[in-house]
């Protein structure tokens, strides 16, 4: 019996992806472990391997197809003795064509968890896409009253938007006691529409640039983060003179091993140790509770073409500076090639964004949920400082800003964390103890 090859879920949150490239064609014989295709998610391009052996009897989803739903049939594998004529009808309904393309492109789909799947009054589950459930919750709509046009009657974005106009009067007539609940679920400000913005520049030459999945996700997640996470900011200048001297000494000693430590390597280590020194800050917000961690999993922002990655260095407090340096170089290289696996850029409680290497003196970074804090690092520049002897001198000073989620970390706790980072960097030898 022929085997249907389904679109894989390459991360826990993946609902759809792009079938970027086929490595096989119809008639090819494949074995378990062979590379079948390359799948693009919003963050990475990953290779998809065969699980079974057989002959590729039919390719259902063409190369380059976007918005292919998880578990959609993308190809059919023939077993021994079968031919292409044995393949019956293959439904690709879960693919992008099954739902409006607008839904496949909607950035909010990857931004936050959708409300729990609702149930109808008769107790039966209501099938709806996460985006449709989210919009319905924002608009105060009853999904049980909406007919689904998606596969197997599933409610999709277009169904909810169509129902919005007719359901609005009903929502307006709700008792006054429901006002707080409605306000809590109100839709976030989205700014002017595409049409409005285009009209503003009528008559001016411009080029419309199509957004890829990564840019849509970045826009959605950071807009949501800025609107829903209560940020506050703590700033400290850190003297780097001792660190720069210590770094130069270490790099000379490590030259024979081909290791060259960067200032960023020291910053990663300093933050990892600070999370151990202030363990209450090593936590994330989880809706109705916080999750406190024993290990320091530090994410580091890496700029790539068209966006950024935040690969996570796990157990950073346990690793040597040279090990952190090597791992960071490897992660950054594969991030730029979009070859990171989901587990390599998901998780962590703390992040670092270093724009000092681009000449930026200081800036405020936006927290990437569920992280509870992110350290914005500026360039080390020579400034006049007052030395330990009270005399005015010149030192290398780096400006840092800690963006903090107030739901997890209060002011004093955040100050302790930033002070610990400062102490570690200004006394670099202690990081080797």
What integer is the mean pLDDT of 106-125? 46
What integer is the mean pLDDT of 1-27? 84
Which entry of 152, 231, 343, 406 is annotated as an active-site residue?
Answer: 406
229: burial class by Cβ within 10 Å (0-12, 13-18, 19+)? buried
CATH number of 3-98: 2.40.50.100
Q: Left if phi > 0, otherwise alpha if psi is -120 to 50, otherwise beta: which for 71? A: left
Angle 324-329-331 (CA atoms, 0-180°, nearest 5)? 95
Provide the CATH topology of domain 231-432.
Answer: Chloramphenicol Acetyltransferase (3.30.559)
Token pair 């979009």: residue: 338
Q: Examine the pLDDT at 430 and tell me if it is beyond 80.
A: yes
Q: Examine the pLDDT at 399 and tell me if it is beyond 90.
A: yes
Predicted pLDDT of residue 170? 43
Helix, strand and coil content of the chain, in percent to the nearest 5, comes to 35, 25, 40
- pLDDT band at residue 224 under the 50/70/90 scheme: confident
What integer is the mean pLDDT of 4-14? 81
Beta strands 350-354; 298-300: pairing state: parallel
Tell me whether residue 23 is one of the annotated catalytic residues: no
| Per-residue pLDDT tens digits for 319-341 | 999 999 999 999 999 998 888 88
Predicted pLDDT of residue 190? 67
Predicted pLDDT of residue 14? 76
- Domain ranges, ordered by start, for the chain: 3-98, 231-432
Q: Would the pTM count as exceeding 0.85?
A: no
What integer is the mean pLDDT of 373-401? 93
**133 to 158, 160, 162, 206: CA distances (angstroms):** 12, 8, 14, 36
Question: Best-predicted range by mean pLDDT among 98-107, 115-124, 158-167?
Answer: 158-167
């Amino acid at each position: 019996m022929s085997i249907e090859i389904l679109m894989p879920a390459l991360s826990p949150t993946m609902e759809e992806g792009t079938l970027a490239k086929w490595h096989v064609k119809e008639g090819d014989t494949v074995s378990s472990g062979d590379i079948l295709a390359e799948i693009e998610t919003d963050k990475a391009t990953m290779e998809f391997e065969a699980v079974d052996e057989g002959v590729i009897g039919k390719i259902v989803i063409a190369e380059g197809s976007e918005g292919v739903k998880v578990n959609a049939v993308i190809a059919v594998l023939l077993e021994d003795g079968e031919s292409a004529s044995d393949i019956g009808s293959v439904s690709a309904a879960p693919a992008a064509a099954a739902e409006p393309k607008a839904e496949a492109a909607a950035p909010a789909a990857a931004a936050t968890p959708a409300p729990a799947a609702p149930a109808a009054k008769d107790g039966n589950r209501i099938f709806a896409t996460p985006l449709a459930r989210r919009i319905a919750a924002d608009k105060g709509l009853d999904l049980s009253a909406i007919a689904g046009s998606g596969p197997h009657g599933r409610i999709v974005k277009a169904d909810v938007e169509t129902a919005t106009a007719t359901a609005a009067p009903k929502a307006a007539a709700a008792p006054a006691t429901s006002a707080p609940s409605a306000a809590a679920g109100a839709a976030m400000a989205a700014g002017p529409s595409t049409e409005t913005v285009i009209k503003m520049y009528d008559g001016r030459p411009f080029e419309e640039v199509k957004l890829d999945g990564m840019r849509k996700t970045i826009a959605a997640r950071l807009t949501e983060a800025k609107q829903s996470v209560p940020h506050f900011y703590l700033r400290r200048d850190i003297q780097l003179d001792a660190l720069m001297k210590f770094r130069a000494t270490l790099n000379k000693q490590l030259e024979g091993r081909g290791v060259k430590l960067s200032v960023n390597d020291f910053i990663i280590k300093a933050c990892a140790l600070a999370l151990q020194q202030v363990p209450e800050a090593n936590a994330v917000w989880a809706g109705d509770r916080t999750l406190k961690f024993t290990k320091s999993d530090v994410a580091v922002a890496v700029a790539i073409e068209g966006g950024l990655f935040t690969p996570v260095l796990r157990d950073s407090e346990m690793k040597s500076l040279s090990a952190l340096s090597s791992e960071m170089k490897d992660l950054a290289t594969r991030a730029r090639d979009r070859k990171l696996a989901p587990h390599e850029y998901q998780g962590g409680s703390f992040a670092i964004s270093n724009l000092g290497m681009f000449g930026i003196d200081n800036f405020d970074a936006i927290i990437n949920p569920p992280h509870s804090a992110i350290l914005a690092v500026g360039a080390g520049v020579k400034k006049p400082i007052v030395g330990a002897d009270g005399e005015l001198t010149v030192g290398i000073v780096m400006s840092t800003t800690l963006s903090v989620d107030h739901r997890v970390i209060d002011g004093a706790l955040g100050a302790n964390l930033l002070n610990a980072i400062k102490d570690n960097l200004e006394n670099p030898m202690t990081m080797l103890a």
